[in-house]
Chains A and B, each alone.
Chain A
Amino acid sequence: MPSVTFDDVSVVYSSQTDTGRGKIAAVRGVSFTLPERGTLGIAGESGSGKSTLAMSVLRLLPRNATVSGRILLDDRNVLELSWGALRTVRWGEASVVFQGAMHSLNPVQRVGKQILEALELHAKNGYATATARQARMLELLGLVDLPGAKAEQYPHQLSGGQRQRVMIAMALACDPELIIADEPTTALDVIVQAQVLEVLANLVRERGLSLLMISHDLSVLGSVCDQIGVMYHGELVEIGPSADIIANPKHPHTQALAAAFPTIGDPASRFLPVSSKGTGAMPIVDTAGSGGTDAPAGAVMLAARQVSVAFHTSSGVLKAVDDVDLECREGEIVALVGQSGSGKTTLVRTLLGLQQPSRGEVLFRGQPLVRTTKGLKAYRRLVQLIPQDPSGALNPKHSVYDSVAEGIRIHRLPGDERERVARALTAAELTPPEEFFRAIPQELSGGQCQRVVIAGALALGPSFLVADEPVASLDASVRGEILALLLRLRRELGLGALIITHDLGLAWNIADRVMVMHEGRIVESGAVEDVLLNPQHAYTRRLLEAVPSTAGNARKTPGEARLSPPGWG
């Protein structure tokens, strides 16, 4: 049973640049101890050095990384181990669950074979024969709640959650005593995330494993780990018991992380997304009237009437959207919540005229959508899309100016183009706008990219926004800023929005109404308070239960948290 001790560990990456060899300190002087059978989570934003720190335990860093300090597994210094000794430590004693299971599994091999490979390479005495290994492989799949038949499938035939569980099974293959999990649930939706976390938590508890887990989401760490350390700019700024860190964070960065994921039902976070620029800088509640809940219900802007979208695939007809009715009013923020695969993106594409419905119709201001080239062009000026991944939504070769001016040029809007662009950038809180004109997307942070995308939409003077997971790929501290921006646009420009998300906390943060989508149908809709605090439909309840609670008491009993009827995940 190893304990892991970090003693003044620093990691420096040297990279070749134009000006000679540049050095970037990714981790600076980090010291802490993960005790035997302990569970420790490391939280931090992208670029904080958390992954680098975790990978340094098994010396899995790229060649240009230089590690100093001491990393002790029990009393052996990992940095001084011989190659052979290191190899037996890898997988035999400590193993890794990598980030992004799709990329870490070989797409052309059956998953069972890939688990067997780990057994063959690191065969311990028990699994010398092929039949023993086969039996062990099936046992491993059982440990992560997967039926043995899944071993015969290829990675693309499994869902994201199943793939992640295969990764965990591989990590368990050689009975390691330490598991390092690098963002094991990122890119999974809440229900699947809850399942994967539960599998991990159970394994740690039942088998007495040590766990070092990395995430940007404090609530995820809180639901599995006893201790949490927070990293910021390569330094460990705070470490302590999970409940303490979450309940009363001391470092300002921890506070921002803790506040970024709101507790549903907490009135303090309603219409008040938290940003690192200061909590509650924009008290929207006061200006919106009593409690801010009664939305300014204007005329119906965007509506769908019995819309269905079916895709014809090789395995038959797939109904992505099934008989959906919805209404979005002027100046109203509506959240469309659902798991991945629930059809919410298809529904939004249909609303925007990017996808032809197989039945039903889309109405804009009471008029059916004109599907001619000209009609769509006019419509697309008024209803704007904010796509999922902001850095991908900007042409990497175009300057900020060109990206924002793109819509103005397409629609040949009159007036001074420069002034319109400057105004749009100012509205998206990129000030002074002149400084951003020449920048290209790679010079901007994710949050700034998202603001440029929003500015590009605002430049056309739209009357409604449709945002597809607007903050899913952003860091926690930026998330609040973007949400606050959406709220401010609503307040100042009366701009309504339909926001697709899998994050119920987001709906609690900014939406007036919420619609829950499940398998192509809208199963429940209503005011946010009604739906989230008093859910009627079983599926809504399941979604709410799956949200990891930041209160630190989320380690549910197995019976309560088991959310996996067959077919889920």
Chain B
Amino acid sequence: MTTVESDTVTQLSAPRPPSLRTTTRARRSERFVDGWHSFRQSKSGVAGLAFLLLVVLGACFAPWLAHESLLDVTLVDNDLNEPPSWENPLGTDPLGRSVLVMLLWGSRISLLVGVAATIMCMFLGTLIGILAGHFTGWRSAIVMRFIDFFLVLPSLVLAIVLSTVLQRGMWTIIIALGVTSWAGTARLVRAQTLTIEARSYIERSIALGASHRHIISRHVLPGVMPFIMASTTLTVGSAIIAESTLSFLGLGDPSQVSWGSMLKLSLDSGAATAGYWWFVLPPGLAIVAVVLAFTLVGRTIETMINPTLRAR
């Protein structure tokens, strides 16, 4: 009884948090809750996020929703190019597979490639952008020329070249997209780094004896992080489109279904010209919808970071 009382008294008189790491964590989670509250203000952002969650869930549970055997041409017994019916809600493809099942399985590759390529692009872009912004003089100049080189590299041509050198498949596409798209991000991150480095708390930090590493990890990186977050969601969308383009050109793994390879098959098999719209429209619309959802989420995060955009 008495111990409990004295405990409360000490707590009241000296609010001593157990450790400061937890207070930092508490503040972070507080900020996260705040962020979620302002995110919820945007109807379009919430709609985009909900749609994305639905697609991601579908992609994750595809093997349970529709067994892989349904994609095996030797095992399916539907008619070829069958129009939508109760049995096959989106019809069948020129090989007799259900378009709905293909769409579900295709989302796995499209999302995976889009996200993996974006992570690669963001990692390279952030690292090199911060280096270019943090260092000055000849070191910065070298990094900038390096960025410029990759900025002018045509991604399509590079991807085609890579696929002749490397094995054809998903990873080739991821590498091709990652390597060609980080340069733009790097320039953005560099500009952001420059504005942060001009603040006087950086000079204070240097005067305290901070190393480059300390300044980058404690001040610059947390400062550019929100911009990277917003930029990431926007990049995923364009990476999905790029994946479709490359798969459409036949650079993907032919044994795996993706939205881009579905479009390629529809063109190759003549489905697109023969008027079998049920095989052409769904993958195209799926790409548009997912990219739109990513863009909505990205724009919402952007307005959270930069409240002046809110009124526009």
Contact = CB atoms under 8 A, between A and B. Distances in A.
Interface of A: 352, 354, 373, 376-378, 380-381, 384-385, 387-389, 392-395, 397, 399, 401-402, 406-407, 410-411, 418, 432, 434, 437-438, 453, 456-457, 460
A348 to B, nearest CB: 10
Contacts, number: 76
Q: Which 5 A-B pairs have the closest CB atoms?
A: A385-B207, A380-B209, A407-B208, A377-B209, A392-B200
Nearest to A457: B208
A402 B24 contact: yes
B210 A410 contact: yes
A437 B218 CA distance: 18
Contacts of B206: 354, 380
B223 interface: yes
Contacts of B200: 387-389, 392-393
B203 A354 contact: yes
Interface string B101-137: 0000000000000000000000000000000000000
Contacts of B16: 434
Given A406-B218, A410-B214, A434-B15, A399 B24 contact: yes
B217 to A, nearest CB: 11
A393 B204 contact: yes
B158 to A, nearest CB: 38
Interface residues of B, number: 25
A354 B209 CA distance: 10
Q: Give the residue among B199, B200, B208 with the most A Cβ atoms within 10 A.
A: B208
Given A385-B204, A418-B20, A399 B27 contact: yes
B139 to A, nearest CB: 15
A31 to B, nearest CB: 37
Contacts of A387: 200, 203-204, 207
Contacts of A381: 209
Nearest to A389: B200
B98 to A, nearest CB: 50
A550 B214 CA distance: 47
Nearest to B223: A397
B273 interface: no
Given A388-B200, A392-B199, A406 B210 contact: yes
A395 B197 CA distance: 11
B24 A392 contact: no
A438 B17 CA distance: 10
Given A385-B207, A387-B203, 15 more contacts: A354-B203, A376-B209, A377-B211, A385-B204, A387-B204, A388-B200, A395-B219, A397-B222, A399-B23, A399-B27, A401-B23, A406-B210, A410-B210, A438-B23, A453-B204
B205 A438 contact: no
A457 B208 CA distance: 8
A141 B182 CA distance: 52
B1 interface: no
Nearest to B201: A395
A394 B207 contact: no
